[in-house]
Structure 1
Amino acid sequence: MGIDRVMALRSQILERNAALARAADAPSAPDASKAAGPTSFADTLADAVKSVSKSQSQASDLSAQYERGETIDIAKVMMARQQASIGFEATLQVRNKLLSAYKDIMSMPV
């Protein structure tokens, strides 16, 4: 599998995640947006970490099922593992950027 194919799969995954996020953000009722209110950055970050954790546990479960010899498609297992890996790497990069921004802010003269 070439790097172009991997990058194409990555972009498809990111597009689907964005579409799912937009669908999840769409209010189901007209008054739902008024009741929910704005979400904080901490809540958004916590939700993202929970999502990555869920993805990793699903990939782990699929891998265990495949290793036990259950009828699980290897492509499904590999795709779940790659999605979990990409989610973890993205979370790690966000954490690194946040730490860098925090260090920059703390080093500013007052």
Structure 2
Amino acid sequence: MSGIGAIGGASGVQQIMALRQQIVDRSQLLQQIKNPDAATPGTGGANPAGGFTDALKSALENVSATQDKAEALSTAYEKGEVTDVAKVMLARQESGVAFEATLQVRNKLLTAYQDIMRMGV
């Protein structure tokens, strides 16, 4: 047993740290969406819809890139090009977590939209 080196070494730790940073960034983004006036003081609400749209598009592109990376690693492993199964599994788990987070955000947005549509004028 060689500790961390047995599951991917420094690159595995870097990937875990990158995943952690993505989770922190998404959490901050959700906090900004929840409290827009506290997140960016002094902006005066110049273009909140554009900011939200850009943030959502960026998050979806990151999830797509993560899924593409996991698919590429899985395919390479199946072909025998990649022998580090831990790296493949980590990429697949990262992809799954990113997708689940996106799904939860979608569900919250859909619920909020439905609540708004039920409001009386």
TM-score when scaled to structure 1? 0.68
Question: 5 Å matches for 1:70-89?
Answer: 70-89=81-100
Q: Distance in 2 between matches of 1:92 and 1:12?
A: 22
Tell me which amino acid in the other structure corresponds to 2:21: R
Distance across 2 between alignment mates of 1:53 and 1:15: 17
Secondary structure of 2:62's aligned partner: helix
Whole-Å separation in 1 of the counterparts to 2:120 and 2:54: 30
Structure 1 gap segments, 5+ residues each: 1-10, 23-36
Aligned-partner residue type, residue 59 of structure 2:
A
8 Å CA contact 1:55–1:84 kept in 2: the answer is yes
| Aligned residue number for residue 42 of structure 1 | 53
Pairwise mapping of residues 20-99 of structure 1 onto structure 2 (< 5 A)?
40-99=51-110
Correspondence 1:16 to 2:27: no
Distance of 2:54 and 2:117 partners within structure 1: 23
User: 1:16: Cα distance to partner?
Assistant: 2.7
Question: What's the TM-score once normalised by structure 2's chain length?
Answer: 0.62
Count how many residue pairs are aligned between Structure 1 and Structure 2.
85
Question: Structure 2, unaligned stretches of length 5 or more?
Answer: 1-15, 29-45
Residues in 2 aligned to 1:43 and 1:73: alpha-carbon distance in whole angstroms: 36
Distance apart, 1:80 and its partner CA: 0.3
For CA contacts below 8 A with separation 6 or more, give which structure has more relative contact order.
2
Q: Identity of counterpart residues, as a percentage?
A: 50
* Contact 1:62/1:72, CA 8 A, preserved across alignment: no
Is the Cα contact below 8 Å between 1:66 and 1:77 reproduced in 2? yes
CA–CA distance in 2 between the matches of 1:91 and 1:78? 20
